[in-house]
Structure 1
Amino acid sequence: MATEACHLGWDFSTQKLKVIAVDEKLRVIHEDNVNFDKDLPEFSTQGGVCVHNDRLTVTSPVLMWVKALDLILEKMKSSGFNFSRVKALSGAGQQHGSIYWKQGASSALQNLSPDLPLHQSLQSCFSVSNSPVWMDSSTTAQCRSLEKAVGGAQRLADITGSRAYERFTGNQIAKIYSLSPEAYAQTERISLVSSFAASLFLGAYAPIDYSDGSGMNLLDIHNKAWNPACLDACAPGLGKKLGDPVPSCKVLGSVAPYYIQRFGFNPHCKVVAFTGDNPASLAAMRLAEGDLTISLGTSDTLFLWIKQPKPALEGHILCSPVDTEAYMALLCYKNGSLMREKIRDKIAFGSWEEFSKALASTPVGNEGNVGFYFDVMEIIPKAEGIHRFNKHNEKVTTFPKEVEIRALIEGQFMAKRIHAEKLGYKILPTTRILATGGASDNEAILQVLSDVFNAPVYTIDTANSACLGSAYRAIHGLVAETSVSLTDVVKLAPGPKLVATPKAGVAQIYQPLLKRYMDLEEQVLKSSK
């Protein structure tokens, strides 16, 4: 029925602006996107970004994002999309990117003319026209200086959930303050990509939410407020330019009159705080306490739901986007599917079928043989090369084909379990592992994952997960203040599919093996230095 209410979920990602609409039964009823390179060629981006000559500085033009919103709204309007049905909207942005609003920009935002596209009204509103994004790694000096200011890398992680990272926003702001003090002085508000996008819909500066704010090296993740020592280490008067952070499920207000007049939005349509793309994906997967998602892609990424975080020098802890009492942790590994494919090509004739057959034919625990496979320098641990150990912990140069395949897969998953537990993750009787990404359709690999974690593995369709999570969060935002959980709100959504359960007796095999793996990892790390 064309008059049924719906909710919009937006994703301002690196390469595209995407949107989906879901109806009251959580069915996707509309999808659209704008590809920055293809649809907005005048900005000359490649993959949505501009890599500068130093190869370290990576930015995106702010007006490109604004123009993309103009474009997608016009596309939706001409396709007959009925904006008056939208009850609420929320969204996600690529994490860490920062936008610098010039003095006077807030009045331009509040007085948008419905006769003009947004990019015309806002073209002179930014003191920095090219926003640093998550791919930027030009701020090593600022990272060292921030860690030093607060008492070291571990102390910074204890406060903010992560040691200093080049892409994190505080370090990017510090660089802009040091290289362009005039641009910084002219800035009245600094937004993340998520809060910038929410500001466009609100017609006023939207606050940064706790979850995306945790990716800045500035937010105290325990008391949910900016840390004064971190702010002072980055730039003067920074707290005022950031504004106070808010819970991720907060209703910020109604859409600006601009959208009502130009596109026919309902005047009561609410804007729920936008968050980062990773937190929004966590919402789409409907993780509960003790659950984890593992994305088995080019790189492997773990999302964990944690109650009592233990920040470490590796990985990131962020405030949860769906539960103000909980946290999410992120662990990234560079040697994901490319390493699996390399071994497959080398010893399984390039065939996943051969690879899986060999994997399934070997015993759980691989008779004590353990391997570390790092084609490129790994993030955790910071090591590279291939390192094989027999059951006596002696280094060996080769393994038989089947042993090599199991050593690779078991090793990758044991590492993930060990690092997750170091960050405070606990496997509970109710734990579910949600597997996504390319390797999530390989049953033999998922069986090993289930065995190593001693928990059932499910697969879930995550196409456009940041958009979907944003649409779910828009619905949740409307009722969050009545203590209704996201899980209650989205129980009608299609559930994940069970694909593997742990074999009997695996815990007894992996318990000692995990301990050995941890000790051997320490050895590999020392030999790589």
Structure 2
Amino acid sequence: MGIYLGLDSSTQGLKALLIDSGEGLILGEASVNFGAELPQYESPKGFLPNADPLIKVANPLLWADALDLVLAKLAAAKMPLGKVAGISGAGQQHGSVFLNSSFEDALANLDSRKNLPEQLSPCLSREVSPIWMDRSTAVEVAELQSQFGARLQSDTGSPAIERFTGPQIRKFSKTEREKYRKTVHVHLVSSFMCSLFCGKSAAIDYGDGAGMNLLNLKTLQWDGEIASFTAPKLLDKLPPVVAGTFIAGHLSPYFAKYGLCPGIPVAVWTGDNPSSLIGMGAGEPGVAVISLGTSDTFFAAMREFKTDPAGCGHVFGNPQGAFMALICFSNGSLARERIKDECGVDWDFFNKKAGAMTLPGNGGRLILPYFEPESTPLVLKPQVKSNFDTASSAERVRAILESQALSIRLHSGWIGEKFSRIRVTGGASGCLLFRQILADVFQAEIETISISASAALGGALRAANAVDGIPFGELYKKFTAAVECTKSNPANAAIYDDALQRYAAMERGI
């Protein structure tokens, strides 16, 4: 039992959270908003603006700068960093960092009198990092799919996906050959951040590695044939791939300036979604999680390995062991905010009042809300379609929420499990109307937990498990107990079963 530090390097910010595993307490937390607190990187939403809406890249030095800043905040708040027994964390999935031959030496000789960005800047073989929102790799996806066909999904858990790291690496190797030639290390955001803590190049875990179109989930090794086709000598540039309980290294002396003890264990980092699975207490099969953020995601531990016949869902490694399923819906809060703004209503109306003014089923009104390119189903050109001509503001609010809930149910059916409990997290999890709609659409109990920073909490829990051997079940009881539960109304089951069929027909028509 001890104190553990968990971090989450997400799209728009970095969060850090301290737990006392013995007492079951959150001792403190700190966060950095990239746009507001690090404006010099000109990334108000966490990525660099680009005239091409398909291109989404970030400066990886931004993430290193944020790490210095968030640890300084914890130190200034007098958090007991000197008592931290282990560290782990999570990074936004699929993002890639390209580094040259100076990276290892720079990490081994970090100077505490300087900040991380100035010491890491010379190590970048590519100045920017494609992130999970980048969809500029349609050509590379087609090449990979043509070369490997169904094997790509059956072996790696996903077909070739524009956002995934493999196609991004392939594009870089083709379009910027000299920079790729100088690349010695290809890291994910998670393994890059873990490397900073360890003072050496760190491994990639099965959870995040599965989001690359490169990891063979049957062997749990990089797939040599796929990697060789993806880019020249790629296998030589990838870190080792390991289980989520692996100790990646020990803390670099650089971080002593914040009060942390050099040499403490650093457990391998993972992706933000696998880490949230743990942080939501859902590492065992039977409980699903819906994360309602910029994008909405549905994920759950799997009883057996299987893939989505439609190619929209993905299989990643579960940090607790075996596998997890994940489906990403790009138009999450983006779509909800657009409808709210178009209706000219506030969040109180959206979250509560609209529900009292409308009925379940909403007179059959449905929306395909693809304000931005959509992942599930794959829609590369934005388009918004509805099956109604007129509707009140309250009816439009219910239409977007019911449509999103129906889409999540429709595209999670391939997992083959009837979930009786679903946990929700993210900004929209506070919407009472949405929670009731989800409960009725799935005919399941919708639960919330007290801690919103589920990916950072997952990092801390994973550190406690990897370093001290504390069972996940014991940690879940202390940190992830449900605090609110929304019950389903059985009378609405038939209404939403019918709506599901109509929504599926609308979707087939696009």
Give me the TM-score of the superposition, normalised by structure 2.
0.86
Equivalent pair of 2:340/2:350 in contact (CA under 8 Å) = no
- Report how far residue 444 of structure 1 moved: 4.6
* Amino acid across the alignment from 1:225: Q
Determine whether 1:487 maps to 2:473: yes
Equivalent runs, 1:341-490 vs 2, <5 Å: 341=340, 353-359=352-358, 370-376=364-370, 379-381=375-377, 385-388=384-387, 409-422=401-414, 424-428=415-419, 431-480=420-469, 485-490=471-476
Distance 1:354 1:132, change over 3 A: closer
- Report how far residue 9 of structure 1 moved: 0.9
1:59-84 deviation digits (Å, cap 9, x = unpaired): 22222322332333344444444432
| Alignment root-mean-square deviation, CA | 3.3
**For residue 503 of structure 1, what is the aligned residue in structure 2?**
489
**For residue 209 of structure 1, what is the aligned residue in structure 2?**
205
Give the match's secondary structure for 1:487: helix
Report how many aligned residue pairs link the two structures.
499
Equivalent pair of 2:281/2:480 in contact (CA under 8 Å) = no
Give me the TM-score of the superposition, normalised by structure 1.
0.83
Determine whether 1:257 maps to 2:286: no
Equivalent pair of 1:149/1:229 in contact (CA under 8 Å) = no
Give the match's secondary structure for 1:318: strand
Distance 1:502 1:44, change over 3 A: closer
Q: For the pair shown, which has the larger CA radius of gyration, 1 or 2?
A: 1
Equivalent pair of 1:344/1:351 in contact (CA under 8 Å) = no
Give the match's secondary structure for 1:307: coil
**For residue 391 of structure 1, what is the aligned residue in structure 2?**
none
Equivalent runs, 1:182-221 vs 2, <5 Å: 182-221=178-217
Write the distance in 2 (CA, Å) between the matches of 1:97 and 1:524.
Answer: 33
Equivalent pair of 1:201/1:271 in contact (CA under 8 Å) = yes
Write the distance in 1 (CA, Å) between the matches of 2:307 and 2:399.
Answer: 29
**For residue 239 of structure 1, what is the aligned residue in structure 2?**
235
- Report how far residue 270 of structure 1 moved: 0.8
Unaligned runs of 5+ in 1: 389-395
Write the distance in 2 (CA, Å) between the matches of 1:246 and 1:310.
Answer: 22
Equivalent runs, 1:153-168 vs 2, <5 Å: 154-168=150-164
Equivalent pair of 1:157/1:312 in contact (CA under 8 Å) = no
Write the distance in 2 (CA, Å) between the matches of 1:418 and 1:37.
Answer: 35
Equivalent pair of 1:344/1:350 in contact (CA under 8 Å) = no
**For residue 315 of structure 1, what is the aligned residue in structure 2?**
312
Equivalent pair of 1:322/1:486 in contact (CA under 8 Å) = no
Distance 1:503 1:239, change over 3 A: same
**For residue 393 of structure 1, what is the aligned residue in structure 2?**
none
Distance 1:520 1:228, change over 3 A: farther
Determine whether 1:50 maps to 2:39: no
Equivalent pair of 1:192/1:208 in contact (CA under 8 Å) = yes
Distance 1:15 1:163, change over 3 A: same
Write the distance in 1 (CA, Å) between the matches of 2:207 and 2:357.
Answer: 42
- Report how far residue 520 of structure 1 moved: 4.0
Equivalent pair of 1:249/1:321 in contact (CA under 8 Å) = no
* Amino acid across the alignment from 2:177: P
Give the match's secondary structure for 1:51: coil
Equivalent pair of 1:298/1:338 in contact (CA under 8 Å) = no
* Amino acid across the alignment from 1:449: L
Write the distance in 1 (CA, Å) between the matches of 2:107 and 2:427.
Answer: 42
1:349-386 deviation digits (Å, cap 9, x = unpaired): 96655522244x55xx77xx644312436543457554
